[in-house]
Amino acid sequence: MKEIGVFLVGAAGKMGREIVRAIQKEEGMVLRGAADKQEVGKDVGELSGVGHLGVVIEEDLAKAISRLKPDVICDFTQAAALRENLSFFLDSKIPLVIGTTGLGNEEIETLRRNCEEKKMGCVIAPNFALGAVLMMHFSRIAARYLERAEIIEYHHAQKKDAPSGTAIKTAQGIKEVKDIAFSDKSEEVLSGARGALLGSVNIHSVRLPGFVAHQEVIWGGEGEILTIRHDSLSRSSFMPGVMRSIKKVYEEPRFYYGLEEVIGLTS
């Protein structure tokens, strides 16, 4: 069976190094190349703690991909870098897995249209943890029965975007089930105290050292509270979802928005 050759963009970052370690353990997959603005010229295996792999981090992304011809490209960078590289990715027509968050809804829909026009495979997911996908799934179910929810999401202090992509997608899912506007009678003494509003859901973002990625969806009903919470205690929690996404987009190339589409989870 042919090994899937992966090119990793953002290889020097924390998620990138975790993906290098995961690919080394994954049967039927091999790391073919790596790119980043940091740690250029270093062996990505040594950087990730798995030993010498003979794959060095390159800065010229286009030249490296053109030379190595990978089967799948993984982008785990930042939104600005992804926007800069997206035209090249689309022109290459190589199946793409995007774990970078920070793109707006219109940008994601434009990406969907471009991929469909080019008949190109792409997975873009705000969260690759299986438990997080189940949290979003259970929240859609709860929306059928309970009145209103608020979301509190907690991430490490280095996270660039707020609210998180997971919080936005959770609120979007709730809105699809229950698109009802609620009047909020509380008066903000400090502007922003009630958080951001998406549909009927207020979203509150916490950024502190010590967190990785955590979210709770708090539902209020008559005389009761339901809390649906997910905690990623390590970035290794995202790896099964990333590996499944690489295989899925290679074997069945189409556009997938969210890990739930990759694993076939339906509401």
What pLDDT digit, counting tens, does each position of 219-232 carry? 998 999 999 999 99
Tokens for 135, please give them.
Answer: 């949290």
> What tens digit of pLDDT does each residue of 92-121 get?
999 999 999 888 889 999 999 999 999 999
What local confidence, expressed as pLDDT, does residue 247 receive?
Answer: 97
pLDDT level of residue 267 (50, 70, 90 thresholds): low
Tens of pLDDT, residues 28-81: 999 999 999 999 999 999 999 999 999 999 999 999 999 999 999 999 999 999
Return the closest-CA partner of residue 75 out of 124, 130, 138, 109.
Answer: 124
DSSP string, 58-94: ES-HHHHHHHH--SEEEE-S-HHHHHHHHHHHHHHT-
**Where do the domains of the chain lie, and which CATH numbers do they carry?**
4-124+236-263 (3.40.50.720), 130-233 (3.30.360.10)
**pLDDT confidence of residue 102:** 85
Rounded percentage of the chain residues whose pLDDT exceeds 70: 99
List the structure tokens of 130: 């299986």
For residues 252-266, give the mean pLDDT.
Answer: 92
Query: Taking 80 as the threshold, does the pLDDT of residue 182 lie above it?
Result: no
Q: In what order do the strands lie in the sheet with 29-35?
A: 57-58, 29-35, 4-9, 72-75, 96-98, 122-124, 255-257
Q: Please report the beta strands in 99-243, taking only residues with DSSP state E, as ranges in sequence order.
A: 122-124, 148-155, 196-198, 201-207, 213-221, 224-232
Q: Which residues are catalytic?
A: 155, 159
